[in-house]
Amino acid sequence: MPHHDPPIYLDAAASTPLRAEALQAMLPYFAADFGNPSGHYAHGRRAADAVTAAREQIAAALGALPEEIVFTSGGTESINAALKGVGFAQRDAGAGAHIITTEVEHHAVLHSAQYLERFGFDIELLPVDQHGCVDPAQVADAVRPDTALVSVMYANNEVGTVQPVAAIARLLRARARELGRPIPFHTDAVQAATSLPLDVDTLGVDLLSLSGHKFGGPKGTGVLYIRRGVPFLEQLSGGGQERQRRSGTENVAGIVGLAVALALAQAEREQFSARAAMLRDRLLARLRASLGDLHLNGHPTERLPHNLHLCFDGVEGESLVDALDAIGIECSAGAACTSATWEPSHVLVAMGVPLERAIGSLRLTTWPTLTEADIDRVAAALPAVIEQVRLAAAPALP
């Protein structure tokens, strides 16, 4: 049956629409002010001034210094640069090659860690509890004299659990004092910008990664905050842009749009959280009323306000996503970044979710432009779609 209503987009964790304010700010740098920021003439100076202003805007949003901000092509590059750049620099400086992270990190962290293992790094993956939370004491206890870096995500991209980053940082600083040397601490904050504070001193982090398209900025833009004094070996060599930390001509329009979107996202955190949580809780309440056998994944309270991650018995997540798409409801089975190679989510497995349940996972992430009517339409449609997918999956009766 074809659908005629406009699609309902419930995958804000995968990507968000570009904010009108960001687009407006970007437009001049595609045409009139197209110059290379390294150029020593008016066009170049205008581009360089725009990048400088954006850097100051980002630094203000993070409570950082402008020179601590590195512009990248997105969250994946920021995370790769953090782990590899600090890892190799620390090992070269004789600080060791032991890296601590968790079992529920984004693949950008886990695959960077696996890459470093090929160069002799010792990677330690810490377990999480049934809510996907890591124990701060366990992180601190894992620190050794040769620990080069610790990386714990701020908020999980699949189940939405918010990690106790500030508590981890406090314990790591105590361990650093015992060892008599700093222990750089990185957080993947890619999912956090719309609803969580990003002040790096309050969080206690030394490196922080962001991706523009997760908070109304353009795709292909990202930020890596590197605290002054943290050892770092650049991963992209060339013309020496970004204070020698990330060569390549700056994406001026993208950087300008990213800065505007981040400033707005952080200014509107409370309104976003209230609206997104209201929509999410409305959907959960209606689904609980009509579906007795749903399972909520992630921490019940310490979670992103727009994240609803559910498992349904007897269905396969991908089939559910396809069936919902056919009636104009767009969401994902687990994480969109990994959907090309579908297998049970490593996050759910680490949380101890049984495999047969983990394959029936659905991630629904709300955005403030959704209406209550949209939410009610999804809640009304989902039980029938689940039943339809279950019947299709059941073996034919003789």
Q: What does the pLDDT read at residue 12?
A: 97
The verdict on whether 337 is a catalytic residue reads yes
Band the pLDDT of 344: cuts 50, 70, 90.
confident
Q: In which band, very low, low, confident or very high, does the pLDDT at 1 lie, cut at 50, 70 and 90?
A: very low
> Are residues 201 and 152 part of one domain?
yes
- 176 within 8 A of 155, measured Cβ to Cβ: no
Average pLDDT over residues 192-196: 98
Has residue 1 been placed in a domain? no
Q: How confident is the model at residue 170 (pLDDT cuts 50, 70, 90)?
A: very high
Whether 81 maps to a domain, the answer reads yes
Q: Is residue 340 part of a domain?
A: yes
Q: For position 293, what pLDDT does the model report? A: 81
Q: How confident is the model at residue 292 (pLDDT cuts 50, 70, 90)?
A: confident
Domain's final residue, options 215, 235, 267: 267
Give the CATH number of the domain where residue 275 resides: 3.90.1150.10
pLDDT of residue 3: 54
How confident is the model at residue 4, as a pLDDT?
64
Question: Residue 27 has what DSSP assignment?
Answer: G
CA distance 116 to 84: 7
- pTM (predicted TM-score): 0.96
**Averaged pLDDT score across all residues of the chain:** 95
- Give pLDDT tens digits for 83-120: 999 999 999 999 999 999 999 999 999 999 999 999 99
- Evaluate whether 162 touches 131 at the Cβ level (below 8 Å): no
Dmax (CA) of the chain: 80
Q: How far apart are CA 348 and CA 295, in angstroms?
A: 12
For residue 309, give its domain range: 8-17+269-393
pLDDT (tens digit, 9 = 90+) per residue, 216-258? 999 999 999 999 999 999 999 999 999 999 999 999 999 999 9
Same domain, 366 and 231: no
The pair of three-digit structure tokens given for residue 28, joined into one six-digit string: 């001049």
Domain closes at, from 267, 295, 319: 267
What is the per-residue pLDDT for 64?
A: 98
DSSP letter string, 39-107: -SSHHHHHHHHHHHHHHHHHHHHHT--GGGEEEESSHHHHHHIIIIIHHHHHHHTTS--EEEEETTS-H
Same domain, 211 and 337: no
Percentage of the chain modeled with pLDDT above 90: 91
Single-letter residue type at 62: L
What would the pLDDT profile of 130-167 be if each residue is shown by its tens digit?
999 999 999 999 999 999 999 999 999 999 999 999 99
Separation between Cα atoms, residue 322 and residue 300, nearest integer Å: 28
Catalytic residue among 133, 311, 331, 337: 337
Q: Are residues 169 and 34 in the same domain?
A: yes
Residues 381, 334: one domain?
A: yes
pLDDT at 2 over 90: no
Cα 173 to Cα 309: distance, rounded to the nearest angstrom: 33
Span 315-333, pLDDT tens digits: 999 999 999 999 999 999 9
Give the pLDDT confidence score for residue 397 in this predicted structure: 44
